[in-house]
Amino acid sequence: MTGAVIQALFSHWRRHKLQLATLLIGIALATGLWSAVQAINAEARASYQRASDQLALGLHDELRDPSGLIPISRYVALRRAGWQVAAVLEGPLRLNGRTIQVMGVDMVAYPALPAVTQIERSQTPSDPADMLTAPGRLLVSPELAGALGAQDGLPPILQSDAVPPDLILTDIGVAETLLEKPGQISRLLVLHGQPRGIPPLSDIAPELERVAASSRLDAAQLTDSFHLNLTAFGLLSFAVGLFIVHGTVGLAFAQRRAMIRTLRALGVSMRRLVWMIMAELTLLALIGGLLGLILGFFLAGALLPDVAATLRGLYGAPVDGQMTLQPQWVLAGLAMALAGTLLASGQALFRLSRMPLLTGAGLQAWRGTATVHRTSGLIGVALIVGGFAVGYAFDGLIAGFAMVGGILTGSALILPYLLSLALSAFQRSASRPVAQWVWADMQAQLPGLSLALMALLLALAANIGVGTMVSSFRLTFTGWLDQRLTSELYVTAADNQQGQQIARWLDPQADAVLPIRSVELAHETGPLFLYGIADHQTYRDHWPIIASTDGVWDRLHAGEAVLINEQLARRANLWPGDTLTIKEGHTLTIAGVYSDYGNPTGQAIVSMPQLDRIAPGADTRRFGIRIAPERATEMAQALRDQFDLPRRAVVQQAAMKAQSLAIFDKTFVVTSALNVLTLGVAGFAILTSLLTLWTQRLPQIAPVWALGLTRAQLARLELARSVLLAALTAVLALPLGLVLAWALLAVINVQAFGWRLPMYLFPLDWAYLFALTLLAAFVAAALPALRLLRLPPADLLRVFANER
């Protein structure tokens, strides 16, 4: 009997190959997009973890000098007092046009490094003496080794895949030469197993601060919000994909009613049937899921390089641009496909199991009714209200996404009700019979199309919302760059002494020379960069202040006040009028808050004398130079020639802006790609729904045709119907999209990045999207319309025949 049932079940798919394909594609798309996002996230997180392990980071407390580098004598003093510390010197090195981080560790004292172990254990171990004595060795990843190639003046390279990308790992003796920082130390690792009775740090090196391993922000924490964003988009794509599955499975079950009735009449128990259909769905889910995984793997591979570039640019987080296939990823993807398929088929399966034995084979039963519309509408309203309530009551990124999720799902559930209301209104205003029929027919078709339209609504809203967010951000960012990068030239000297020389040399030639000095402090809110600025009109005119008290600049330069960036303000809830304790004994009133995009850490600005009081000895190596813009290029060259500066040490404003914008644009490449894909999936959902409805169209169209409407007219009406429903949905999607954009800008962004952006509207984009939607609906309806046009009249006549 089982064999017969299987045969019967499969005969359906044999007869409806397109339906089978649609179902599999639906599952594959849902799984694929979701898995791609998961793979990207997993790959990036694995990269952070690998880098952390490879450098033995995160296990040890550290000692840092807030005002800069630590002299070697301090290290020896600590050691001779018994402190077991290991020295690290790190910094950027410009090679072959790219910036590479150099990490020099005291190989004698630093904890185990996998890269070194790996090289020691390799077939051709290098003599460790080479590593410790000049010229030394550079440990780099194979990828970077290829990029560095034959570089003159570099020590020999040893390849190891246990070195994070974009990093040169070497002995501190080599690093001090490469970085031209002889006898300097960036930080000291406090090793495990300190001896008995060592004196407190304040007795030996009071200027050093101990930073606990747990309080340092690592790449994984910094990028959490970025990955959560991606996950949310992945989930959205998954949901849209499931609409296709839901629609197709619903149709397939409806079409099988007759067969199932026959099987039951032959004695197959309902229980058995349900189990077998479950097994069938599981098989389909696994096949579709597998296809989805293949799709997801390649999609992730295609997107990963951009994501990696973004993460490196935004957070300096080390990410490989390479995909590796993880078994748990495959399993999770298949599980997701299975769960999604069963979820999407649950309703259909439930109805099937409740189907009375003698019910007719009609197709109407599986579609929703007006009551269902109202019920789902009520649930929708509840979800929207609940979403806003969650967003209002709770803080945090999860609450933000819960709010967005509630609003989106709720709106999707209300959609059929709203469309039905709109169609009723049209119907009432229609006077001619054909028009009345068209509206009534659309009303009747609505339940079958509503899921596809929901998918379309979500995709459109996401597009409008995300598009508005990205464009608003870009506009704000561009304006902000103009405000922030006011100097025509930026120069970085090799050391303080050269810095002074440059400032003296520039003084008579430039309109103004503005020193840019900063130190990194360990603040209770996390790392805090403290900047000192000169009193100059440039700042008063341009600095992007978003909240301030009266006389903000005067108070700043009087040494009474501090400016903080928006990230710090929002994180610590500090606003003008509050006070900020920068360091013990240095508490200042906050006079203003300024926007500071693309920077994950807190920042504060004080007057130059104040900076010297708080952190004496901060470097004076960077300057902004105000000069007539047309003289900038010439002056940049003159500076390089005069002080023998490398190219990168003198940067023009325009180049800096271009670079910043390039990083910005890359940041949203993935978001845009997911957006377009979601819209494509929604379009596909409409097509499948229309094809589904097609089978039941004949009995509805035949009487109208018999009353005198031509097939061409009917086909045109068919197209118009699809386009009109899409148009109505798009109109409803616009306000939803704007609500979404608002939520992203005012809630999600604040939680994820620490800044709130003003919202701008881009009607031209909407028009474009609207046109695209109509086109998609038109294309989706074209196939059924074409079929109608070519339908032999005999088929239509047969509707009235007895045999049907």
Residue ranges binding another protein (CB under 8 A): 72-73, 75-76, 79-82, 84, 106-113, 116-117, 120-121, 125, 127-129, 131-134, 171-173, 176, 182-183, 193-198
Parallel, antiparallel or unpaired: strands 602-607 and 586-594:
unpaired
What is the closest distance, in whole angstroms, from the C-beta atom of residue 519 to another protein in the complex? 25
CB of 148 to another protein, least distance (A): 23
For another protein, the closer of residues 136 and 624 by Cβ is: 136
The strand pair at 586-594 and 579-583 is best described as antiparallel
CB-nearer residue toward another protein: 196 or 790: 196
Instruction: Supply the minimum distance, in Å, between the C-beta of residue 465 and another protein.
Output: 51
Q: How many CB atoms lie within 10 A of CB 123?
A: 4
Cα separation, 496 vs 505, in Å, equals 14
Q: Report in angstroms how near the CB of residue 647 gets to another protein at its nearest.
A: 29
Residue 493 CB, shortest distance to another protein, in Å, is: 24
Q: Which is nearer to another protein, 125 or 156 (CB)?
A: 125
Query: Residue 79 or residue 756: which is nearer to another protein going by CB?
Result: 79
- In degrees, rounded to 5, the angle at the alpha carbon of residue 683 between the alpha carbons of residues 680 and 685 is 110
For residues 2 and 202, which CB has a smaller minimum distance to another protein in the complex?
Answer: 202
Helix ranges, 266-357 (H)? 270-315, 327-354
SS3 of residue 1 by DSSP? coil
Q: Which of 400, 367, 395 is nearest to 689 (CA)?
A: 367
Q: How far is the CB of 172 from another protein (least distance, A)?
A: 5
For another protein, the closer of residues 1 and 108 by Cβ is 108
Pairing mode, strands 602-607 and 526-533: parallel
Nearer residue to another protein within complex by CB, 91 or 527: 91
> What tokens were used for 468?
């508005």
Cα–Cα distance measured from residue 502 to residue 619, given in angstroms and rounded to the nearest whole number: 14
The 3-state DSSP class for residue 351 equals: helix
Exposure pattern of 675-702 as b/e (b: 16+ CB <10 Å)? bebbbebbbbbbbbbbbbbbebbbeebb
CB of 50 to another protein, least distance (A): 18
**Distance from C-alpha of 640 to C-alpha of 650, rounded to nearest angstrom:** 7
Query: What phi and psi, each to the nearest 5 degrees, are found at residue 532?
Result: -110, 135
Q: How far is the CB of 617 from another protein (least distance, A)?
A: 21
Of 76 and 339, the one with the shorter C-beta distance to another protein is 76
Q: What is the C-alpha R_g of the chain?
A: 33
Cα gap 515→607, rounded to integer Å: 11
Q: Which is nearer to another protein, 113 or 219 (CB)?
A: 113
SS3 content of the chain, % helix, strand, coil (to 5): 65, 15, 25
Query: What gap in Å lies between CA 724 and CA 776, rounded to an integer?
Result: 12
CB 12 within 8 Å of CB 255: yes
Which residue, 183 or 646, has its beta carbon nearer to another protein? 183
For residues 582 and 604, the answer to whether their CB atoms sit within 8 Å is: yes
In the bound complex, what is the minimum distance in angstroms from residue 187's beta carbon to another protein?
A: 16
Token digits of residue 789: 């046009």
Question: Would you state the structure tokens that stand for residue 493, as one six-digit string?
Answer: 């000297």
Q: Which is nearer to another protein, 75 or 770 (by Cβ)?
A: 75
Counting every residue, how long is the chain? 804
- Of 130 and 207, the one with the shorter C-beta distance to another protein is 130
Distance CA 463, CA 468 (A): 8
Nearest approach in angstroms of CB 178 to another protein is 12
Q: Report the 10 Å Cβ neighbour count for 673.
A: 16
Q: Nearest distance from residue 133's CB to another protein, in Å?
A: 5
Give 717-729 as a 3 state SS string: HHHHHHHHHHHHH
Euclidean distance between CA atoms 175 and 167, whole angstroms: 12
| Exposure letters 363-382 (e unless 16+ CB within 10 A, then b) | beebbeeeeebeebbeebee
CB of 135 to another protein, least distance (A): 11
Tokens standing for residue 283: 């098989």
Q: Give the number of C-alpha atoms closer than 13 A to the C-alpha of residue 78, restricted to the C-beta side.
A: 27
CB of 158 to another protein, least distance (A): 13
For the bound state, the minimum distance from the C-beta of residue 202 to another protein, rounded and expressed in Å, comes to 17
* Nearest residue (CB) to another protein, 166 versus 171: 171
∠330-335-339 over CA atoms, to 5°? 155
Whichever of 105 and 750 has its CB closer to another protein, that residue is 105
